[in-house]
Amino acid sequence: MKKEYISTLILSVALIWPIPSGNVFAGETCHASLANGFYDEYQRIVPSLRDRAMYAELCSLKYEDAQKAIKRAQQFGKDKSLGLTYGLVNLDDLPPDNSPDSDSSPADTMSDMRFGQWKGGYCAQNATLDPSQASEFFMQRAVAGNSDASRAVENWSACLRKLPGLTCWATPAKVSAAEQGEEFVLNVNWASGGISGSQDQPEIEYSYLTRGGVAKFEGVAASRILPDRYKLKAGTLQIPVIRPADKGVFATLKVSHAGTEHSCKVFVPGDRDFSLSEPFINRLKLKYPG
């Protein structure tokens, strides 16, 4: 079995499991449509929102792919501050304003070794989470309200809905009840195209919410998303979920369909996940390669 982590907006993150091998490429294509919208609008996004998205995205990437992501983020102009709020670069890495390199970004010339050191220090604290899912969630939040980027998100969402089998993603509610916590919508999508026994309805075998998540679905038990043996219809079922704003939530579902199990797992990051910090000077004068 192969795992594929994907998602959709207005805020979303998704994993499809199991997944046919041909869907691995399809999932990457879906992710690319979201990432393209984010990078195209990077220079116009509120810094705190784009920084959290880049933080999580870079944690999910290998060095070569991280270099490509940094270049994409700076395609319409250099951002000398890229990485300052999540430790990728330090204040003393920045070239003086009057130097020939004053318009350069330290992140552009970071070595493989230093990038690995950064991941070991700044990504390890989020090691129990999935940085790829988190980046997709933050990207969607970052581009919300931007008409051009929102179209890219809509395309991504449509791409996910076409994937056969079970797909889940989270969408932020437009209005949340502050006294109850933050609300989002859990989307559970079933597409039977290309799957044997396509006329049968999949039945819920297992569904669970962690860290205080509460599904607003009639007849569901505490910490559950849907009742056991609930039958899904083709298309998308939307389930409102309340969760503490400071806690990331995992939602897991497993269904049985024509003798085969299909699972999906969604991670919705909280306020404490991939949090930003104040830029700092390398006062110990540690020498990093590159």
Tell me the C-alpha distance between 248 and 212, whole Å: 9
| Residue 17 CA to its chain's centroid (Å) | 16
SS3 53: helix
The pLDDT, as a whole number, for residue 97 is 64
The pLDDT, as a whole number, for residue 230 is 95
Amino acid letter, residue 259: G
Chunk the chain into consecutive blocks of 10 residues (it has 290) and report each block's average pLDDT, rounded to whole numbers. 39 44 64 88 92 94 93 82 88 68 71 93 85 87 82 86 89 64 88 71 94 91 93 93 89 92 91 86 50
SS3 64: helix
Tell me the C-alpha distance between 54 and 73, whole Å: 9
The pLDDT, as a whole number, for residue 3 is 41
The pLDDT, as a whole number, for residue 9 is 38
Which residue, among 63, 14, 75, 11, has the nearest Cα to 39 in the 3D structure?
A: 75
Q: What does the block give as tokens for 125?
A: 């604290």
The pLDDT, as a whole number, for residue 100 is 57
**Residues forming beta bridges with residue 206, ordered by sequence position:** 254
Which residue, among 271, 283, 219, 276, has the nearest Cα to 246 in the 3D structure?
A: 271
The pLDDT, as a whole number, for residue 94 is 73
Dihedral pair phi/psi, residue 73, rounded to 5°? -65, -25
Q: Which residues of 40-74 are buried (b: 16+ CB within 10 A; e: fewer)?
A: bbbeebeeebbbbbbbbbbbbbeeeebbebbeebb
CB neighbour list of residue 252: distance below 8 Å, 6 or more residues apart: 206, 207, 208, 263, 264, 265, 266
Q: For the chain, percent helix, then strand, then coil, each to nearest 5?
A: 35, 20, 45
Q: What predicted TM-score, i.e. pTM, was given to this entire model?
A: 0.82
Q: What does the block give as tokens for 69?
A: 């992501």
